[in-house]
Structure 1
Amino acid sequence: MFKAHSTLSRREFMRAIGIAGSGLGAASLVQPKFNDVDELLSASSNLKYDHPWYAKEVDEPTVEVDWNTMQRFPKAKYNNFAQHLTTDEVKAIQAKTKADTVKQMTDSSKSGWYLRDNAIKMGGWAGVRYRMTLTTAIKDWVEGWSIIPTPAVLGVPKWQGSPEEASLLVTQALRLFGASSVGFAEILPSTTQKMVWGQMPQNPFPTLSFEGDAPKPVFDTAANKVVIPNTSRYAIVHTIRQSLDASARPGYLSDGAAGQAYDNCDIAQWRLQSFLRVMGYSSITQNIQGNGAIVGWGVMSGLGEQGRLQHLVTPRWGPMIRQSTMNIVDIPVAPTKPVDFGARRFCYTCKKCSDLCPSGAIPKETEPSWDITSKYDLVKPELFNNPGIKTWYFNHFKCNTTWQETDTYCGICQATCVFSKDDAASVHEIVKATLASTKILNSFFIDMDNMFGYGLTPEDQIEEWWQKPIPVNGIHYENDVFYK
């Protein structure tokens, strides 16, 4: 059996990886001594974010520089392409390039240069180009940026494929663009269409209607209305993981984790819209408040279950995601079904989020209800609760009051959920598998979660975040099924 802390000399390790006796010579004399593999693997991880042990500091760069000769470069006034050619030469090269790319995208003559690859390229640069245009017009949210080419502009046919093929392409694209999970749903008049907002939350707050046979969604500025044609009846939904480590530290660290994840949601969806535009399709993006019931779209697209805390609880990361971002699209995709992994059943017993909610916004009743939050004082629950689901209706007024009073997004319910784990130990997957098959051990698992101290970081340890190494985006990805 492999022993993680078995004794391993430096020479044995070097021999094992095939570099012992390869002319390292004196360099090996200054290498640190590792007693075992764990020490070696952790050697580069310290509080200073140092380079690996074999990188040393020097007084001068390895490339020689003559600072007396060097002057500031007028980059803004210089084009390293066109300024060396005549206008006709530039036009000729550009024309040939366009012809070559059209041929490659049309007949798929060169791998990596297909239409879908170009769409990935455009999507990858979409955020940068958007920020360069400095516009957030509602027209862009609905119709996309004019700077992103369509197949007609490129001189090629739009992409065509089955719904299953479309779902695969979109999933691959969104994974590259930053999405943690991706799902799909059909917008049906009798059901899911009712989860789409009637009025868009983007300024100037246009109404949204499903009508007509226009080739794509349009924003009618005169009527202040977004018209969605019959062809745009599909939803692409994605989530972005949020740092549990930061979220478990109440205050601005938790707030920052939420903001970063929201921003990443936007980045991914803008890239998606650009990708689809290049493919020949449209997408209505959303703002932070969504195009419809945010948790509902996550549920309907099979990305998780709605929990007591009224967040989407996902199988792998619990509610530690930000958010079910839903885009209305006209590319036919294959819907993904809702899932059941025991999360909602567990919420009947748990109540941990409710017990720790500082505002009392999460109900403590064991059973969910069809009744929305009861009226009290001057509070009008109909302004934040939408009837029609059996759940533990959330008191958004109480929650938002806490945000206002603390000058921060709270997030305690997310961080303390029993399902919010980074899976540093395999036992968490065993627990989740058990919860999915039976509820008999629910109370036991709640007690164990509390006993092991999972949840919020103790107040005297919150600031330690600034002195310890953290992974990229503050997220451990070992439990991502796509990386196994």
Structure 2
Amino acid sequence: MKGFHSTISRRDFMKSLGIAGAGIGAAAAAGPAFHDLDEMASAGKQSHAWWVKERDYENITTEVDWQTYKNFDAVAHPATPVSDEVKAVTAARVAKDKADGLAGKVPGADRRGFAWYTAAGRGGTAPAWDGETSFWKPSEGDVTSPYNESPEYNTQVMRAALHSFGTPAVGVVELTPNIKKLFNKDLISWEDRNDAVLDGKVYRFPNKYKYMLVWETQMSATQATYNYKADDSNPSGYGSSVPIGRMDAQGYNYGRVVMAQATSFLKGLGYAAVRPGSSFFLQNSAYGIFAGLSEQARPNYRMSPGYGLCSRQADITITDMPLAPTKPIDFGGHRFCNTCKRCGEVCPSQSIDMRDEPSWDTVVPKNNPGIKAFWMNWDTCAGFGSPVNCGICQPTCPFNHPTEAIIHPVVRATAANTGIFNKFFADMDRVFGYGKVRSAEEMEAWWTRDLATYKGDTILGSGKYIW
């Protein structure tokens, strides 16, 4: 299908739009000469549509008289002052609108709406360990009790809010005695207290904080395919990552924004939102697995059914909001890893376990025993320079491949139900050349890619539409 081109003439195309007679000539003369619709759709390197014309420098469609136009002078053109009477009227109207919303009289203007609006403006840097400190909360005279529906509905509210902030998947884990084992024992203390405090290096959490909200941040699998570099000095033939393919940096940046917004939203609803420091996240893969966002993968971190290995750490916040726990999932990913081994084949430091079956036996002291898994040699992985200078195992996973090609959804659906064809699927992945090193021409072409059609960029705020 790659060589397919539409075979409709420009005149026929104009006719199909209802532009006839002299209109055709005028429209044809104004437009560029395209051989077919595919050329027209992909014309240019900017993100403008084909029908957007360029003008000369400083020749905007709004007429400007440069002899009259001067630098703005705030003294010569002062703003009209707003009187105290007008301010009072405005304040009264805003207060009534807020009161009506909190009383349930204005759809979309309830406590959730106010909390979401404030949270949406947060981000840019990671919040304090106890959550975003600048957040909306009811003032005196407003509803002061926390927002609360059923745990199931509360979970849906959190999913809806966090999805709008930029995360594709949200789960909930109940903090049972088993789950608390996932945390660093020297950093966390669970106590009968009212509020969380940081006591030196120890986080002292109230036992009433019963739930952990978990979400993931996606990174571009398309962009990550620029990660590979050839290096014959390593057994795999691959070297450290190429900078323009390192989407983990962008993913972590997105994660900080979502974290600030998530904690602000929770606090705006009247609940705790605590997120200890970075050392707390050593088990972040486990959080996402127990929350039902992913399965354990061969390289000892998470594989998502929708994004393969191309999702960043499972961020969390611990809260006292009543939530409905979500269950772990099985999409055949862990079983697929048994025979695939694609990530291990490209590993420059040979740190990824290449055994045919998971094992209870760990390989380095950093591994925490008690699970049957493929074990990562974190000593050699870190010794090679990860995570900063490596990450090529991430884009290699077959579950990363885009769903536009019909075969990839078929492979995933089949792998979820049977493992009979898993080796065949992995072999075909090799045959079709996924995980290859980009040529110098391809690397250079990234800088001049067609921004109107390229699917690897994450355009924040655009949703799934192409405008």
TM-score (norm 2): 0.84
Paired residues of 2:151 and 2:324 also in contact (CA < 8 A): yes
In the alignment, which of 285, 290, 293 is matched to residue 303 of structure 1? 293
Q: Does 1:112 align with 2:102?
A: no
State which of 154, 158, 170 in structure 2 corresponds to 1:166: 154
Match of 1:264 in 2: 254
The equivalent position to 2:50 in structure 1, one of 52, 71, 96, is 52
Matching residue of 1:410 = 390
Is 1:124 paired with 2:120? yes
What SS does the corresponding residue of 1:151 show, helix, strand or coil?
coil
Higher mean alpha-carbon deviation, 307-316 vs 3-12, is at 3-12
Contact 2:226 2:437 in 1 (8 A): yes
**For the residues of structure 1 that align with 2:300 and 2:95, how far apart are their CA atoms?**
52
Q: CA offset at residue 274 of structure 1? A: 1.0
Q: 1:219 to 1:119 in 2, by over 3 A?
A: same
Number of paired residues? 442
User: What does residue 235 of structure 2 align with?
Assistant: none
Secondary structure (helix, strand or coil) at the match of 2:315 reads: strand
Using the alignment, how far apart are the partners of 2:437 and 2:379 within structure 1?
26
- Whole-angstrom CA distance in 1 between matches of 2:407 and 2:216: 25
Residue 380 of structure 2 corresponds to which residue in structure 1?
Answer: 398
For 1:463, the aligned partner's letter is E
Q: Following the alignment from structure 1 to structure 2, what is the Cα–Cα distance between the partners of residues 141 and 153?
A: 27
| 2:406 maps to which of 426, 448, 461 | 426
Q: State the alpha-carbon separation in 1 of the partners of residues 242 and 118 from structure 2.
A: 34
Check 1:287–1:417 CA distance in 2 against 1; reply closer, same or farther (3 A cut): farther
Q: 1:24, CA displacement in angstroms? A: 7.0
**Structure-to-structure mapping, 1:38-437, within 5 angstroms:** 38-43=38-43, 46-49=44-47, 51-59=49-57, 60-67=59-66, 69-71=69-71, 84-85=81-82, 88-89=84-85, 92-93=88-89, 95-127=91-123, 140-145=128-133, 147-152=134-139, 155-157=142-144, 158-189=146-177, 191-199=178-186, 207-214=187-194, 217-221=195-199, 223-250=200-227, 251-253=241-243, 256-285=246-275, 291=281, 293-374=283-364, 381=365, 384-403=366-385, 408-437=388-417
Change (3 A) 1:153 1:391: farther
Deviation at 1:108, TM superposition (A): 2.0
| C-alpha deviation, 1:297, in angstroms | 1.1
Deviations 1:413-450 (A, max 9, x none): 11111212122301100011111111111111111100
Inter-partner Cα distance in structure 2 for 1:231 and 1:481: 39
Distance in 1 (alpha carbons) for counterparts of 2:161 and 2:171: 13
Query: 1:315, 1:269 → 2: CA distance?
Result: 23
Note if contact 1:346-1:435 (Cα within 8 Å) is conserved in structure 2.
Answer: yes
Q: Deviations over 1:216-242 (max 9, x none)?
A: x42245x54322222211121111211
Assess, with a 3 A threshold, how the Cα gap between structure 1 residues 103 and 4 changes in structure 2: closer, same or farther: farther
SS of residue paired to 2:247? helix
Q: Describe the shift of the 1:456–1:163 C-alpha distance in structure 2 as closer, same or farther (beyond 3 A).
A: farther
Cα distance, 1:397 vs. partner? 2.1
> Does the 8 A contact of 1:102 with 1:154 survive in 2?
no
Q: Equivalent of 2:422, from 420, 439, 442? A: 442
Q: For residues 28 and 329 of structure 1, what CA distance do their matches in structure 2 show? A: 62
**Unaligned 5+ runs, structure 2:** 228-240
**Mean Cα displacement is larger for which, 118-127 or 468-477?**
468-477
Match of 1:204 in 2: none
Fraction of identical pairs, as percent: 33
Q: Give the equivalent residue in structure 1 for 2:12.
A: 12
Deviations 1:88-139 (A, max 9, x none): 54763564255224313322222232221112211110126xx6xxxx68xx
Partner of 1:458: 438
2-structure distance, mates of 1:172, 1:164: 13
Considering fraction of residues, name the structure with more helix: 1
Q: Aligned equivalents of 1:14 and 1:472: distance in 2?
A: 28
1:52 partner amino acid: W
Which of 252-261 and 110-119 deviates more?
252-261
Structure 1 residue 411, shift from structure 2 partner: 1.2
CA RMSD of aligned residues (A): 3.2
Q: Give yes or no for contact 2:222–2:456 (8 Å, CA) kept in 1.
A: no
Q: Secondary structure at the match of 2:161?
A: helix
Q: Could you give the per-residue CA deviations for residues 461-480 of structure 1, whole angstroms, max 9, x where no partner exists?
A: 33332121354762599xx9
| 3-state DSSP of counterpart to 1:283 | coil
Give the secondary structure class of the aligned counterpart of 1:112.
Answer: coil
Q: 1:11 to 1:255 in 2, by over 3 A?
A: closer
Give the superposition deviation at 1:456.
Answer: 3.7
8 Å CA contact 1:244, 1:475 repeated in 2: no
What is residue 378 of structure 1 aligned with on the other side? Answer: none
Aligned partners of 1:142, 1:259: CA distance in 2, in Å? 24
Distance 1:7 1:239 in 2: 44
Give the CA deviation at 1:295: 1.0
After superposition, give the CA deviation of every residue in 1:245-300 in whole Å (9 maximum; x if it has no partner). 22222334356411000110111111111111111112123555554611111111
CA distance in 2 between partners of 1:434 and 1:269 (Å)? 35
Q: Is the 8 A contact 1:415 1:456 kept in 2?
A: no
Q: Which range is displaced more, 265-274 or 62-71? A: 62-71
In 1, distance between residues paired with 2:353 and 2:141?
55
* 1:275 match: secondary structure: helix
Q: What SS does the corresponding residue of 1:450 show, helix, strand or coil?
A: helix
Secondary structure of the residue that 1:84 maps to in structure 2? coil
Residues 382-402 of structure 1: CA deviation (Å, up to 9, x unaligned): xx3222211122122211222
CA distance in 2, matches of 1:168, 1:253: 38
| Pair 455,252 (structure 1): closer, same or farther in 2 beyond 3 Å | closer
TM-score (structure 1 length as normaliser) = 0.82
Residue 355 of structure 2 aligns to a residue whose secondary structure is: coil
What is the deviation of 1:73?
Answer: 5.9
Report the residue type matching 1:339 in the other structure: I
